[in-house]
Structures are given as C-alpha cells and as structure tokens.
Structure 1
Amino acid sequence: MTSSGAHDRLARWREHEATLYRVVPYGGLALGTLLALVAPAPHGLGVTPTVALAVAAGCWVTWFVTVHPDWQSRRKLMAVYYAGLITFAAALVAASPWYGLFAWIGYIHAFPVLPRRWRIAGVTATAALIATSQGGGLAIAISHWPLWLLLVLFNLVVAGSVSWFAMVAEQEDAKRKRLVAELGETNRQLTETASENAGLHAQLLTQAREAGVLDERQRMAREIHDTLAQGLTGIITQLEAAEQTRDRSADWRRHVDNALALARESLTEARRSVQAVRPEPLETARLPDALVDLGGRWSALNGVRADVATTGTPRPLHPEVEVTLLRAAQEALSNVARHAAASRVGLTLSYMADVVTLDVRDDGAGFDVTDRPAPREPGGGYGLTAMRQRVSRVGGELAVESEPGGGTAISASVPALPGGAG
C-alpha cells in the first residue's frame, strides 16, 4: 500500500464520517418530533412548546455543526456546543420520551467534540437521558426510580462498550495516521535517496570513463615505449651502423636487413598493442623460451653476448605476469644497448613457490643510483619508470643496483599467479 493510496482512503473515510455526524442529529430530531405529534406522552408538554424546543435544538446543531464545520477543532467552543446539545436533549426528553432518539446523538458527538477526560461525563449524561426516555418520561422515571437506575446502568454498560470500541477505533486511526505519515516520510527519503543515487551513478560513470581513458592512455604509452620506441631506437642504430659500413657491402646489407626486420617486428607488436593482444613471442612459446629467443635476437643485433638461464620448475603464469616479465627484459636489454657499453649480459628467470623473479645483470659502465624517481628520458622514453610501473601493476617490486664502472643489476619480482587467475 502506497502512502498516497492510504491517504486517499483515510480522506474518504473522514468525509463519510463528517457527513454522518452532520446528518444523523436531524434524523433523530425529525423522527422524535413525528412520534411526539402522532403519539403524544400523557405527561408531556404541549405540541407548541415541544415543536419550539425541537426547532431550537435543530438551530443549535445547525449553527455549530452544519454552518461552521471547522469549529470542530476548537475544543472549548465545542464543549459549549455539547453542553447545549445535552440541555436541549434533556428538555425534549422531558417534553416527550420519543426524543430519546435525539438524545442518542450524545453518544456520537461526544468523541469528535469533547476532550478525552470529558467524554465519560458526556456518555454518562446521555445514558441517563436514554434511560429516562426508555422508562416512559421524566415523571415515570421519578416515580419508578429503581427501574430508572437499572435502565441507567444498562445504558452505561452499552455506552461503555461503545466507548471502548470507539477508543480502539480512535487508536487504530492514530496508528493509521502515523503509518501514513511514516510511509510518506519513507517515500520522501526514498525519492531523495534515488535522486542522490542517480547523481552518484552519473558521477561514478564519469569517473569510470575518465579512469578508463587515463588507464588506456597509460597502457598505450607503455606499449608504445616497449614496441615502437625500442624498435625505432634499434632501427636508427642499425641504419647508423649501415652508414658507417657503406664501403663494405656485406656489413651494409646485414645492418639494413636488421633494420628492416626490426621495422616489421615493431609494426607487428604495435598492432598487437593497439588490439590489447599478448606479445607475439608469448603466443607461440612459453616465457622461458621467449626470453631465450629475445636474448638471441638482441645479441645478434647488438653484438653483445647474452646468456639466459631458468631456475626452478617453469609453469604457466597469468598472462599479465608473463607480459610484465617479458617487457621488463626487453626494457633492460634496451637500456644495456643504449647506455651500458657492456660486453656481457645475463638474464635469469627464477620460479619459486609464490614469486617469480627476473634478474638482468650486465658488466657495463653503470650509474649512480639515488632514491629519487627516475626522470623521463630524453626522446620520449620512460626507461626505469615505465618498468617500475609495469611491475607495480601486478603487485610486484623492482630493485636496481648499480655503481659507476661496476655494471648494473635489475631484479623484477612478481607474484606467481597461475595461468587463468584473476
């Protein structure tokens, strides 16, 4: 049940109840007057005084109930109305016992117009008037007062039962009002929550879109560095070597062929990077074999001995972990070729229980290692910064040890996530 539906039902019930309060007094007054005229009481007043009292009682009800229905909320004024109503009912019952039909209205009007503590007095007075009417009038009630007392007690029991049911109904009505109010408040809060959730949802979508754009931008930057940048560096190196060996046809051809091979390989890797596909070496071989192939090709291009070793038991790893280790090896070898002037490089892939480590050591020139983050390299590269970011993305750590003239050792340790793990 919605709060609006419950509110509409309660409003309709209130309207019917108000109509009943307004109409019933006139019905009781008209029926009592008709019976008083048709069958007058032997000890009652005359016709004229009786009708005059009935008209006055009707005007009293009309003024307070029909003409000014909004007065019902003014408790003190309605107490005056109820006192007048009981007074008119007593006079009419004294004039004719048939007006007990009008006095009965005191039961109905006691609850909407009187405060709670005065309702008992109003109901008791009404019960006395009803007992007088049932006993045959005021004169007979006085002469047969034991019967009158019995009738009063009987009507008090009936009135008490009616009052009890009325109070229960009033309590239920109060509960219903509270329920309607609570439902309205709940619906208001739900509406506000829905509006807030809609705003948060839009904000989250915006943040997710921005985060996705930034993440994709960073991924493409890493991939471009690991494929195009390194490939172009190798191509430039080979073309420069070809320029220096122009007078030696065989060496010139070898360097040019190496440059063409690097261009084709870089183009292939660039396409795979855009499509977010694993590097080609990992599509056709396991990680240890891919590293052996990488070391062999790098050694042939740069004329530097590269030894690749594997310890532990090789096993399939999560694709992201394998790509991270392969890219770290490519970056380390590229740095050796550009900066180290080394005569020997060693790559060691170590499979342990929970960690896989890639160590790359060279006997080159080395450099000063500081705690400051590595700056972006000239020419657009990211060097150790990109390598560290890659390793950190899979929950790993990158350690660099070097000193001038003492070579460089790079160690990338990553979690040994099994293949297919999320």
Structure 2
Amino acid sequence: MSGAAPPVRPGRQDQRLEPLMTVAPYVILAALVVVTLVVKRGAGGSLLIDLGLCATAALWMLWMFTWHPAWRERVAVMAVFFAGLVVLIGVLVLRDPWFGLFTPAGYFYAFGVLVWPWRLAGVSVVAFESGMAQVAGIPKHNAFGVALTVVVLAVNVVCMCGMAWWEWDVDRKNVERVAALEQAREANRRLQATLAENAGLHRQLVVQAREAGVLDERQRMAREIHDTLAQGLIGIVTQLQAAESAGDVPERWRAHFAAATRLARESLAEARRSVDALRPEPLETAGLGEALAGVADRWSALHGVTAQVTTVGTARPLASETELALLRAAQEALANVARHARAGTVTLTLGYLGSEVTLEVRDDGCGFDPSAPRVPAPATVGPEPEAEAEAGSGTEAEPGSGSDTEAGGGFGLKAMRERIEGLSGTLRVESAPGSGTTVSACVPQETVEAGA
C-alpha cells in the first residue's frame, strides 16, 4: 500500500455514495429499532437505553452530515463525525449483537468522507466491530472459541482493508490518468501555439525576404540608371546646350550635335542591356535551344561568320537562372569571337546529359595562349551605329562584357564565370595559337532539378 495519496477532496465520492450515506443508514437503523422493540419489548430500562442510543446515532448523522452538506468538504469535521459514529456503533454492538447489521453504514461513511490513509483505519475499526457482532455467540473460554474469534475478526479486517486499498489504488490511477490527459492537452495547446507562432514568423520572414529582394533590385536598378541612363541624359543635355550656344559656328554646332546623338545611341543600348538583364526576350518566347539558335542567327548575319547550334540529348525544362547563365555565356563567347578570333565557323553545342547540362562554344579562329599576357586588340570597324544598336539586344552580353581580354579574362568573361559558378557549375576556356578556342560551361543536375 505504498504510493502517494491522490489529491482529492474528502467528499470526492459523494455522487456515487450519496444514496448510501443519506438514506440507507436511516433505513437500516429504523429496521434495527423495530427489531429491538420486538426483542426487548418487556426489557424496560435496557430498551430505553437502546432506543436512546439509536436516537443519538440518528441525530448525530442528521446534524453532522445530512443537515450540513458543506461540512462534508472539511476533513477535521468529518473525522469527528466518523469517530462519534464508530463509538455509537461499538456501544450498540456491545449491547446487542444484531446492531452489527448497522456496521455497513460505517463502511459507507468510511469510504465516503475519510481521506487516505485514515480511510484504511476507519474501515479497520468498523470491520472489527462487525466481526465482534458476528462472534458474539461464540464461547471464548476455550482455545477453539478464541481461535475462531480471531479468525473471524481477521477475515473481516483483512477483506475490508483489502477492498479499501483496491478502491484507493483505482482512485489514484484515475487521478494520475486525468492529470496525464491534462498535461497532454496542455502540451498540445502549447504545440499548437508554437506552430501558430512559427507560421507567423515564417510568413513574416517571407514578407521580409520579399521586401529585401525588392529593395535590392530597386537599388541595383537605381545604380544602373544612375551610372548609365542618367549620366547619358546629362551628357545629352549638356551637348545640346553647347550646340545651342554655338549656333553661329556650324562646325562647333555639328560636333556637339554629333556627340549628343552618339550619347543618345549609347544610352539606348544601355537601356536595352538593362532590360535584357531582367529577362532576355528570347527566353520569354522560346526554350534555351531555340533562344541560342536565334542569337546565333542574328550574330552570324551581323558578322558574316557561320554559326551552327546543335542540341545533344533530350531537352528538359531548366531553372530560369540556369537558362539565363547559359544564354549569357553564349552571347559573351560570340562577342569575343567577333572581336578577337577572326574565325570562319563557330559551333554551339547544348548538351542535356544524365547528370548535368553543358554548353560548348568552339571556333576555328586564331586562338591564343591562355597563360600569356594579352594586349587588348585594336578596335575593329563595326557596323553602322543604327545596326549596332539594334543588334545589342540580341548579341551583347551585359554592360561592359568583352571590353578587354587581358590574361585571366575581361569583365565579360569574369561575369560569365561568376554566373556559372553561382550555380555550382564550372567554366573552362581551352585555346592554343592557331587552333581556335573552346569555351565550355557545365551546370550540375542538382541545380537544374532544384529550379525546374
């Protein structure tokens, strides 16, 4: 009978034992009063004493329990009530053995108003009184009578104490089960609150990330506009003002007007490059293979060099970042061929392999020694400004690409490498004097699948 007592109120079992504690004791006591009247109808004083004890027991139960329900929650009051009742039952049993039939009322109150472990003591006392009533007729002057008395008393006490312990154990387990369920409900409430809080934080982080991305893009575009379009427009305004001031000198007027025209064309080309940096128009209307074919056709028509596009493997959707990086790599490679290679044929090979996607740009030009320092080649005579401006949207890479080709590559080649390596890919340039040049870009399959 180890373990902590369940933290319950003294009257916790009132609902189950309510009829047994409020009605049954009076019914049993009334029946025993009738029996006493019948048995002792001629006993005189003894009958009056028994009736007085019965009346006292009835009044004790009425006053201490029935008429004051609030007292049932008070441990000390109920202990006094039960002790007084046990004394009255013991006196009645000692006077007349048939009052042993009143001991069930003691059990009812022991289970109903006593807390553990006092309940065990109360049940033991009532069981002892019940046993004494049962052995009242057994002679106790011999060993057999004494042994039989002890056995009867022991059976009563052990059985009722065992029942009390079993009831207490069930009650304890029920309390623990209720406490565990409440803890589980509380844990679920906390988990739901945590999940709701995490969801709110996730939404907040998504919003902040989106706002940060928008802010970064705005700042980038602001820098682009400031460094290109705004400066070009300022120059145009300045040249037009100077041309207006030199109206009487035709040579100066024409020079300023030509400079303003040139700045306007350069600003237009820069605007087109900025738009292409957001999303190239060829990729909006076609896949990567078709976009490369379109870029190669326009480049070939502009420079008079044959350009062929070949696709190896089964084409599949790629991440927009992957398509943009490969298209820019092709444009930069073609721009470098036009500036430096003096090639007759260029081959672009787009490969969809099992674990990667590759782009190879090979020319049959003069080639170069990648390990040797290179001096920027003299500027070649290009097409008319109008044709160059129109071709800028399809053949140029990004602003400043291919502006120089010193050892290690110019800004265009550097930007190409950064784009490819930013996708966990690799960029390789192979060349030798008189053997042409090959630019190979490779993006691993993981990057392709992540963005597909």
In the superposition, the TM-score normalised over structure 2's length comes to 0.57
Query: 2:35 aligned with 1:35, yes or no?
Result: yes
Shift of 1:196: 1.0
User: Aligned in 2, Cα 1:91/1:63: closer, same or farther, shift over 3 Å?
Assistant: same
Query: 2:73 aligned with 1:70, yes or no?
Result: yes
Query: 2:405 aligned with 1:366, yes or no?
Result: yes
Quick one: distance in 2 between partners of 1:421 and 1:187?
42
Alignment of 1:13-412 (within 5 A): 14-17=13-16, 19-20=18-19, 22-23=21-22, 24-40=24-40, 46-61=46-61, 65=65, 67=68, 68-72=71-75, 78=79, 82-111=82-111, 112-113=114-115, 114-115=117-118, 118=121, 121-132=124-135, 138=136, 140-142=137-139, 157=155, 161=159, 163-214=161-212, 273=279, 279-280=283-284, 282-283=286-287, 286=290, 288-296=292-300, 299-300=302-303, 308=307, 313=312, 315-320=314-319, 321-330=322-331, 342=340, 344=342, 348-349=348-349, 351=351, 353=353, 354-358=356-360, 364=376, 365-367=404-406, 387=416, 390-392=419-421, 394-398=423-427, 412=441
Q: What amino acid is aligned across from residue 300 of structure 2 in structure 1?
A: G
Shift of 1:201: 0.3
Quick one: distance in 1 between partners of 2:154 and 2:296?
108
- What secondary structure, in the 3-state scheme, does the structure 2 residue paired with 1:356 have? strand
- What secondary structure, in the 3-state scheme, does the structure 2 residue paired with 1:319 have? coil
> Which blocks of at least 5 consecutive residues in structure 2 are unaligned?
1-8, 237-253, 255-261, 369-373, 377-403, 432-436
Shift of 1:167: 3.4
- What secondary structure, in the 3-state scheme, does the structure 2 residue paired with 1:414 have? strand
Aligned residues: 363
Contact 2:131-2:156 within 8 A present in 1 as well: no
Q: What amino acid is aligned across from residue 330 of structure 1 in structure 2?
A: Q
Contact 2:98-2:133 within 8 A present in 1 as well: no
Quick one: distance in 2 between partners of 1:43 and 1:386?
124
Task: Describe the superposition over 1:358-411 as per-residue Cα deviations: whole angstroms up to 9, x where unpaired.
Answer: 4589984424759xxx9xx9xxxxx67865664356432456899xxxxx9975
Moved more, 144-153 or 322-331: 144-153
Shift of 1:198: 0.5
Task: Describe the superposition over 1:275-304 as per-residue Cα deviations: whole angstroms up to 9, x where unpaired.
Answer: x9871573495365244225326x44xxxx
In the superposition, the TM-score normalised over structure 1's length comes to 0.60
Q: What amino acid is aligned across from residue 318 of structure 1 in structure 2?
A: P
Contact 2:358-2:442 within 8 A present in 1 as well: yes
Quick one: distance in 2 between partners of 1:206 and 1:395?
29
Which of the pair has the greater relative contact order for Cα pairs under 8 Å at 6+ separation? 2
Quick one: distance in 2 between partners of 1:284 and 1:93?
106
> Which blocks of at least 5 consecutive residues in structure 1 are unaligned?
1-9, 133-137, 240-246, 248-254, 378-382, 403-407
**How many percent of aligned residue pairs carry the same amino acid?**
22
Quick one: distance in 2 between partners of 1:71 and 1:351?
89
Quick one: distance in 2 between partners of 1:84 and 1:12?
18
Task: Describe the superposition over 1:82-137 as per-residue Cα deviations: whole angstroms up to 9, x where unpaired.
Answer: 554333212112333442232222333444355376367325413324415xxxxx
